[in-house]
Amino acid sequence: MERARILVETLSKAGFIAYYAGGWVRDYLLNHPSDDIDIATNAPPETVQALFPHTVPIGISFGIVLVLIDGHPYEVATFRRDLDYKDGRRPSQIEFATPIEDARRRDFTINGMFFDPIKSEILDYVEGQKDLKAKIIRAIGNPHQRIKEDRLRMIRAIRLSCRFNFKIDPLTESAIRDHAKELFPAVAIERIWQELVKGHAFGKLHPMLVQLHEFGLLSAIFPELADLPLKTLEKRLSPLDHYPPSAPPIASILALFPNTPLPDLLSLCKKLKLSGQDLQFTEYLFNARALHKATLFEWAHLYAHPLSEIALQILAAHAPHPKEFLQEHSERQEKLHKSIQRIKTQKPVVGSQELLKEGILPGKKMGDLLKEAEKISINDEIDEPKPVIEKLKKLPIWQIRI
């Protein structure tokens, strides 16, 4: 806060006006403290760069400069009017303008206010305070025009509605329904995913997915769900309310596809352009769900994985009797405690040294025998090398000469 105020004061002393803008003002009025402050000013971007020693011209053609104050980044945007939109995402041209014109180009009334930190004064040219009090998400001006300018605003409206438990203004809702099928290719999938991630961060992804379905947007994102009845969707999503807070957003999306084969789930993740970490989680959760009559060896490896705790809590949320489900796994984990620790520390009962003493040289045969030794020690609950090796000697692979 103090750094942002210093930034505004610097611009003010240079003869310019500067305000906090957008989401910070909304959250301030809702008593939701935030350090994410954007600055709007009538100073041209070149002047902003000249006034501050550490800047990055992240969107100079749109009048946006990143200013670093004590290492903290602030977006400083010159008041502007957006002219022609051709790609459904950003204007092809802008003109620098007044604060009123700048406010009127923004998405929703609750995001269109300014705050003067020097005078401690709200500047509201779009009746944002009125809609905040009425708990309404309303597009500024013509909702069809606002959506055509950036079709991601349809998803953002729903995210904000769910986050704050606000209603969407009927005209804005009607415009969203009318333009739902235009989401692609105007909006990059990465931007949509970021909106879903933001919904998840506030614990609102469940209602957000339901509302996206109701407005016709979920099927635009996931065509596979086009014919899914609302009741079925709600049934699939009901366990989300019992997911652990640490569950990643992809876990909620996977709940939409309960009987989908793993290759198709991984293709879905790639379509969403998710990280390798999300792909790993998807594969692990799928395999964990598929384990029913597993061997002790398979259970031990499941429990030794870093994702096991989160995955089990997610699976428990889908189980008919969650407490009994977790109790069963807890008892099995206790039973396999030594084996789990050996897997985590990579210190098996039988290692390469024991096999070398038996005349087994490094190579494929040794690798195969080490795998078999681990299976024997865990499945037969043997903690000493000698009896494991005795069992290994009875396997056909031991007799193979390499």
What are the two backbone dihedrals, phi and then psi, of residue 41, each rounded to the nearest 5 degrees?
Answer: -150, 165
- Return the pLDDT at 13: 97
pLDDT tens for each residue of 237-289? 999 999 999 999 999 999 999 999 999 999 999 999 999 999 999 999 999 99
Confidence of residue 89 (pLDDT cuts 50, 70, 90): low
- Return the pLDDT at 34: 87
Amino acid found at 275: S
Q: In the listed set 116, 131, 146, which residue is the last one of a domain according to the structure?
A: 131
* Interacting residues of 315 by C-beta distance below 8 A, sequence separation 6+: 285, 288, 289, 325
Q: Say how far apart CA 258 and CA 279 lie, in whole Å.
A: 16
Residue 358 domain flag: yes
pTM for this model (two decimals)? 0.90
Q: In the listed set 107, 131, 155, which residue is the last one of a domain according to the structure?
A: 131
Residue 74 domain flag: yes
- Return the pLDDT at 400: 82
- Return the pLDDT at 88: 58
- Paired tokens of 232: 């079925």
Q: What is the mean pLDDT of residues 202-207?
A: 97
% of the chain exceeding 90 in pLDDT: 90
- Paired tokens of 75: 């977006």
Q: Say how far apart CA 390 and CA 54 lie, in whole Å.
A: 70
pLDDT tens for each residue of 273-283? 999 999 999 99
pLDDT at 61 over 90: no
* Dihedral sign from CA coordinates of 241, 244, 250, 256: negative
Amino acid found at 274: L
- Return the pLDDT at 72: 94
Domain around 110: 1-131
DSSP state of 293: S
CB atoms within 10 A of CB 282: 21
- Paired tokens of 288: 């964990």
Q: Say how far apart CA 55 and CA 68 lie, in whole Å.
A: 6
Q: What is the mean pLDDT of residues 70-79?
A: 96
Confidence of residue 402 (pLDDT cuts 50, 70, 90): low
Confidence of residue 200 (pLDDT cuts 50, 70, 90): very high
What are 52-59's contacts with CB under 8 Å, separation 24+? 52/7, 52/10
Q: Say how far apart CA 354 and CA 306 lie, in whole Å.
A: 29
- Paired tokens of 392: 């290994």
- Paired tokens of 84: 């022609």
Confidence of residue 292 (pLDDT cuts 50, 70, 90): confident
- Return the pLDDT at 82: 80
Q: How many helices (H) and strands (E) does the chain have?
A: 24, 11
Q: What is the mean pLDDT of residues 214-234?
A: 97
Residue 158 domain flag: no
pLDDT at 134 over 70: yes
pLDDT at 87 over 90: no
pLDDT at 35 over 90: no
Q: What is the mean pLDDT of residues 20-29?
A: 96
pLDDT at 94 over 90: no
Residue 196 domain flag: no
- Paired tokens of 33: 């403290």
Confidence of residue 91 (pLDDT cuts 50, 70, 90): low
* Dihedral sign from CA coordinates of 342, 347, 351, 352: positive
- Paired tokens of 95: 């003109």
pLDDT tens for each residue of 155-175? 999 999 999 999 999 999 999
Residue 244 domain flag: no
Residue entry with tokens 């013509």: 142
- Return the pLDDT at 33: 83
Residue 38 domain flag: yes
What are the two backbone dihedrals, phi and then psi, of residue 86, each rounded to the nearest 5 degrees?
Answer: -120, -20
- Return the pLDDT at 322: 97
DSSP 77-135: EE-EEE--B-SSSSBS-EEE--HHHHHHTSSBGGGS-EEETTTTEEE-SS-HHHHHHHT
Strands 114-116 vs 18-21: parallel, antiparallel or unpaired? antiparallel
pLDDT at 111 over 90: yes
Q: Using omega within 30 degrees of 0 as the cis cutoff, is the peptide bond preceding 91 cis? A: no
pLDDT at 93 over 80: no
Q: In the listed set 131, 160, 194, which residue is the last one of a domain according to the structure?
A: 131
pLDDT at 63 over 70: yes
Residue 359 domain flag: yes
Residue 380 domain flag: yes
Q: How many domains does the chain have?
A: 2
